[in-house]
């Protein structure tokens, strides 16, 4: 039976009512009806129905002329798309809303105002009856009007929403997605306005939008109205929350990245629309959400996902008057949830030009082409198929042009901006928030866009050389010996979690300390005693959010470890505590004051020797505090510890005793502690070391150098460095045997088993438990392990 009602309250509709009130309003109704009672705040409101829109067309005799206009559209070149759109919208805007509809909107707006005791500001949003389906999002195709006050303005906004069904971008979108124009209707949702102009707002995904990783909730936030995030006008804050820890552990937030948020979109004081104002510097440096607020949004997002039983794309807003958080929209995530993350294309960059700009990577790939600088979608004819679009920001008016681009580069925006979302939808790669791109890249330049290296995307001058390989992980045969990964960069962990693996056999902390933290731990412990004033200023600038400088180190390191641990959870992630040498530590900010020059740092003050020494003891404590945050507060007990370069059994006992003082006791809460087997003493006394530690990881590089007496940094004798040398293999075979006798776990981290099938044969035949590989060597390594196990049988 056809529903003839012109208005429905949001709590009267649900997700099955897309044909009545469109996807957006049906979803809001579903949440109002089923999730608001569970504590999720949804703004109150009502919606016009598809019947209301059809009665509007019918009363004004618009059906036939609209069909004629659409029939006249050039569907090859779309040369008259804008003209057809304007004519159609003019038809609708010059028509009158039916009296019955005007009366219904008027009485429902009055009832809403009465309920809240004042004349309300409302949001009037378009909701098409074919939108937000799992195969097509329609996001941003139609108009929304915010901060609307008074019935005359509400009626005008509803009328404009109706007309926006024939926006040029909406017409093109329907054609691209196979929708019959005459069967799509427009519903307008009239909702209590959340005054995020006085606070903050943003977007939330319940699936990581680039890798398809499902165990993290990604939240972005900016000051003011969320349109700045959608349009890509700002680089927002970004927060990652680990789903399994929500509500179960004190700290489900595994990563926080501060965005610049240079603009704040607010309402004009006279009510005539919105204006983008400069965000004060001190506010740019503040988080848009507190930790409890991040956790609240994540908890709500998880509830929404569980209710809909699919990954969701959600909009949130914080009211600056009441300080309450609200969910203002939720739709199915339409890109990664439909892809198979186990089908991967792997890119290897062989040769590249100079780096022009760096920004946020969207998608994974490399593309080369001519750069085309375009300021407006009106100049879309300038972009030829396969060229690279370079612009400041984009909005939904750009959609038709974006589909021609081999890659998209924008000055502004985050990974949930409009350009990023459309790039994912059309299968293009993008770099958003590439500050200065339109200045540093010239129109007509030949450039290469690389988004294959994790979160950062790079633009290189000229045409780079690279190789591509298609990988299918779905049916890969896994060996009995555990294949594990060697990792250092948290930004790559979500994507790499889909590779065939049994966890992370070696996470190196040095990469994070060097690239993210950048400061010598002791320079944070003894900040007030620093003599280098320049270093002090730089450290002050990096740590301005932390009154206790030590917390900066703990926070950044725990987030990096937590991200990798979450990506591979519940598989084990073995974290090797810091193993810088003195010359490398000295290069960190403030480091020179705390390091002595050594003749041979390779065999000097490194590894375990540092941890209990007064020169570094307090620095090691910071590393231990980060591990405690990850294991005890984030709930990631899959993290194990590994002690590098431990020369003697007594030294091992000292480190374990110190860790006990720092509340990290082996065996408590399932904590396992491994030791690197990389010094001949580790091999000779392996059974003694096995009484102190849970297992070994053979560091083949250091073991080879110290067995053969070779400085691997020396070019003169580098050709003598060989893991296949009989003496090295003897040492490896011996330590594997000793580990087996002691019932201790043993693995190896290194390149040799992937480079040399016979080396994998050797390790497997001696019964090693696991072999860890760099990501680019993993597949070849697994093939070698399978072959070795087959040969053994």
- Residues contacting 646, CB < 8 A, separation 6+: 607, 608, 652, 655, 675, 676, 679, 682, 689
Give pLDDT tens digits for 664-678.
999 999 999 999 999
Rounded Cα gap, residues 568 and 636, in angstroms: 10
Buried b (16+ CB within 10 A) or exposed e, 149-180: eebebbbbbbbbbbbbbbbbbbbbbbbeeebe
Chain-centre distance of CA 228, in angstroms? 18
Helix (H) or strand (E) holding 678: none
User: What residues contact 599, with CB distance under 8 A and at least 6 apart?
Assistant: none
CB 342 within 8 A of CB 498: yes
Q: Which long-range contacts (CB under 8 A, 24 or more apart) does 536-544 make?
A: 536/590, 538/589, 539/589, 539/590, 542/518, 542/589, 543/519, 544/285
Pairing relationship of beta strands 45-48 and 482-487 according to DSSP bridges? unpaired
Under the banding of pLDDT at 50, 70 and 90, the label for residue 397 is confident
Tokens for 740, please give them: 């087996």
Q: What is the pLDDT of residues 236-272, one digit of tens each?
A: 999 999 999 999 999 999 999 999 999 999 988 877 6
Give 119's DSSP letter.
P
Whether pLDDT at 273 is above 80: no
Average pLDDT over residues 406-420: 87
| 411 has a pLDDT exceeding 60 | yes
Tokens of 265: 């979109």
Report in angstroms the alpha-carbon separations of 382 from 78, 84, 418. 14, 21, 21
**Known active-site residue 624:** no
Higher pLDDT, 231 or 746: 746
- How wide is the angle at C-alpha 343 spanned by C-alphas 338 and 348, nearest 5°? 125
Cβ(304)–Cβ(40) under 8 Å? yes
Task: Convert the pLDDT of each residue in 749-764 to its tens digit.
Answer: 977 887 788 999 999 9
- Quickly tell me which residue has 């069904």 as its tokens: 165
Averaged confidence pLDDT in the chain: 92
pTM assigned to the model: 0.88
The residue annotated as part of the active site, out of 204, 418, 520, 624, is 418
Give the separation between CA 287 and CA 261, rounded to whole angstroms: 10
What percent of the chain lies above the pLDDT cut of 90?
A: 76
Q: What pLDDT is stored for residue 445 in this prediction?
A: 95
Lowest-confidence segment of 25-29, 505-509, 603-607, 774-778 by average pLDDT: 774-778
The DSSP line for 67-107 is HHHHHT--TTT-TTHHHHHHHHHHHHHTS---HHHHHHHHH
- Confidence label for 3 from pLDDT (cuts 50, 70 and 90): low
| d(C-alpha 414, C-alpha 417), whole Å | 5
The predicted model gives 485-498 an average pLDDT of 94
Which structure tokens are listed for 164? 């926006």
**pLDDT band at residue 338 under the 50/70/90 scheme:** low
Burial profile 384-395: b = 16 or more Cβ within 10 angstroms, e = fewer: eeebbbbbbbbb
Determine contact, residues 404/374, Cβ cutoff 8 Å: no
pLDDT of residue 132: 46
Residue with tokens 């993008």: 430
Distance between CA 589 and CA 524 in Å, rounded?
10
Q: In Å, what is the CA distance from 530 to each residue of 553, 611, 613, 766?
A: 17, 21, 20, 51
* Per-residue pLDDT at 1 exceeds 50: no
Mean pLDDT value across residues 507-513: 94
Q: How many CA atoms lie within 13 A of 116 on its CB side?
A: 16
* Confidence at residue 165, expressed as pLDDT on a 0 to 100 scale: 95
The yes-or-no answer on residue 161 being catalytic is no
Is 70 exceeded by the pLDDT of residue 133?
Answer: no
- Tell me the pLDDT band of 231, cut-offs 50, 70 and 90: confident
Position 215 scores a pLDDT of 97
Report in angstroms the alpha-carbon separations of 571 from 154, 226, 454, 567, 568. 54, 37, 21, 9, 6
- Residue 176: band (very low, low, confident or very high) from pLDDT cuts 50, 70, 90: confident
N residues, the chain: 793
Report residue 479 as tokens: 């060996």
Q: Each residue of 669-708: pLDDT tens digit?
A: 999 999 999 999 999 999 999 999 999 999 998 999 999 9
> Using an 8 Å Cβ cutoff, are 696 and 652 in contact?
no
Distance (Å, whole) CA 451 – CA 358:
10
Mean of the pLDDT values across residues 387-399? Answer: 85
Token pair, residue 695, equals 């297992």
* pLDDT bracket for residue 597 (50, 70, 90): very high
Question: Which ranges constitute the DSSP H helices of 368-447?
Answer: 399-402, 418-426, 437-440
Q: Give the span between the Cα atoms of 109 and 51, in whole angstroms.
A: 19
Q: What is the pLDDT of residue 58?
A: 96
Range of weakest confidence among 131-140, 200-209, 712-721: 131-140
Q: What is the pLDDT of residue 139?
A: 56
Name which residue leads in pLDDT, 717 or 451. Answer: 451
Strands 253-257, 237-242: pairing is antiparallel
375 with 393: CB under 8 angstroms? no
pLDDT of residue 297 exceeding 90:
yes
Over residues 446-471, mean pLDDT? 92
The three-state DSSP-derived secondary structure of 535-590 is HHHHHHHHCCCCCCHHHHHHHHHHHHHHHHHHHHCCCCEEEECCCCCHHHHHCCEC
Residue 675 near residue 689 (C-beta atoms within 8 A): yes
Asked if residue 509 lies in contact with residue 578, where contact means CB atoms within 8 angstroms, the answer is yes
User: Which one has a higher pLDDT value, 448 or 453?
Assistant: 448
CA dist., res. 698 & res. 467, Å (int): 32
Name residues whose C-beta falls within 8 Å of residue 147's C-beta, 6 or more positions apart in sequence: 121, 123, 193, 197, 267, 271, 274
Q: How confident is the model at residue 451 (pLDDT cuts 50, 70, 90)?
A: very high
Which pLDDT belongs to residue 399?
72
Cis-peptide, bond into residue 570, ω within 30° of zero? yes
């Amino acid at each position: 039976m056809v529903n003839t009602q012109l208005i429905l309250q949001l709590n009267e509709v649900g997700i099955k009512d897309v044909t009545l009130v469109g996807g957006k309003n049906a979803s809001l109704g579903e949440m109002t009806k089923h999730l608001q009672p569970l504590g999720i705040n949804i703004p109150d409101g009502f919606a016009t129905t598809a019947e209301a829109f059809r009665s509007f067309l019918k009363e004004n005799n618009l059906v036939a002329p609209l069909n004629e206009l659409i029939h006249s559209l050039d569907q090859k070149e779309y040369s008259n798309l804008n003209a057809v759109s304007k004519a159609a919208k003019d038809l609708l805007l010059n028509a009158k809303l039916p009296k019955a509809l005007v009366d219904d909107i008027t009485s429902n707006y009055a009832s809403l105002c009465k309920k809240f005791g004042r004349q309300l500001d409302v949001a009037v949003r378009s909701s098409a009856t074919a939108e937000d389906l799992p195969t097509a999002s329609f996001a941003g195709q139609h108009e929304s009007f915010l901060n609307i006050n008074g019935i005359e303005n509400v009626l005008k906004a509803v009328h404009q929403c109706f007309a926006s069904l024939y926006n040029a971008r909406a017409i093109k979108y329907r054609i691209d997605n196979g929708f019959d124009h005459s069967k799509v209707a427009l519903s307008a949702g009239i909702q209590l306005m959340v005054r995020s102009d006085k606070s903050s707002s943003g977007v939330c995904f319940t699936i990581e939008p680039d890798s398809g990783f499902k165990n993290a909730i990604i939240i972005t936030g900016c000051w003011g109205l969320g349109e700045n995030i959608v349009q890509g006008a700002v680089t927002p804050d970004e927060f990652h929350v680990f789903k399994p820890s929500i509500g179960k552990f004190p700290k489900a937030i595994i990563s926080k990245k501060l965005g610049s948020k240079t603009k704040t979109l607010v309402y004009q004081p006279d009510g005539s629309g919105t204006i983008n104002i400069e965000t004060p510097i001190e506010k740019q440096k503040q988080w848009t959400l507190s930790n409890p607020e991040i956790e609240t949004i994540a908890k709500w997002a998880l509830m929404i996902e569980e209710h809909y039983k699919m990954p969701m794309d959600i909009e949130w807003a914080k009211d600056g008057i009441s300080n309450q958080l609200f969910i203002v929209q939720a739709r199915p995530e339409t890109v990664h949830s439909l892809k198979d993350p186990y089908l991967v294309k792997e890119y290897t960059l062989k040769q590249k030009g100079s780096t022009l700009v760096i920004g946020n990577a969207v998608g994974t790939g490399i593309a080369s082409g001519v750069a085309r600088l375009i300021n407006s979608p009106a100049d879309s004819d300038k972009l030829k198929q396969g060229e690279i679009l370079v612009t400041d920001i984009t909005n939904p008016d750009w959609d038709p042009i974006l589909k021609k681009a081999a890659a998209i580069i924008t000055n502004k925006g985050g990974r949930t901006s409009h350009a990023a979302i459309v790039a994912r939808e059309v299968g293009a790669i993008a770099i958003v928030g590439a500050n200065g791109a339109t200045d540093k890249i010239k129109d007509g330049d030949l450039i290469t866009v690389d988004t294959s290296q994790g979160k950062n995307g790079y633009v290189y001058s000229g045409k780079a050389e690279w190789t591509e390989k298609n990988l299918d992980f779905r049916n890969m045969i896994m060996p009995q010996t555990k294949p594990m990964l060697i990792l250092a960069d948290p930004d790559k962990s979500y994507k790499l979690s889909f590779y065939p693996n049994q966890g992370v056999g070696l996470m190196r902390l040095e990469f994070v300390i060097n690239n993210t933290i950048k400061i010598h731990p002791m320079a944070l412990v003894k900040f007030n005693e620093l003599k280098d004033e320049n270093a002090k200023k730089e450290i002050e600038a990096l740590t301005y959010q932390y009154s206790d400088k030590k917390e900066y180190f703990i926070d950044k390191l725990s987030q990096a470890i937590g991200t990798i641990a979450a990506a591979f959870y519940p598989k084990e992630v073995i974290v090797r505590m810091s193993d810088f040498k003195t010359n490398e530590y000295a290069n960190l900010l403030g480091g020179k004051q705390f390091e002595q020059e050594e003749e041979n740092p390779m065999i000097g003050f490194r590894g375990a020797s540092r941890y209990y020494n007064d020169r570094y003891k307090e620095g090691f404590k910071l590393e231990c505090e980060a591990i405690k945050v990850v294991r005890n507060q984030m709930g990631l007990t899959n993290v194990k510890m590994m002690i590098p370069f431990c020369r003697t059994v007594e030294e091992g006992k000292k480190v374990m005793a110190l860790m006990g003082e720092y509340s990290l006791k082996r065996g408590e809460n399932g904590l396992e502690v491994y030791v690197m087997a990389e010094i001949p003493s580790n091999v000779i006394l392996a059974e003694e070391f096995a009484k102190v530690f849970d297992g070994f990881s053979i560091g083949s590089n250091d073991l080879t150098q110290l067995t053969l007496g070779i400085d691997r940094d020396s070019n003169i004798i580098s050709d003598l460095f060989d893991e296949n040398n009989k003496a090295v293999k003897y040492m490896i075979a011996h330590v594997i045997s000793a580990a087996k006798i002691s019932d201790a776990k043993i693995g190896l981290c290194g390149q040799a088993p992937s480079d040399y099938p016979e080396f994998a044969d050797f390790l497997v035949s001696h019964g090693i438990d696991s072999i860890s590989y760099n990501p680019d060597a993993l597949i070849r390594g697994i093939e070698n392990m399978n072959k070795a196990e087959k040969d053994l049988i």
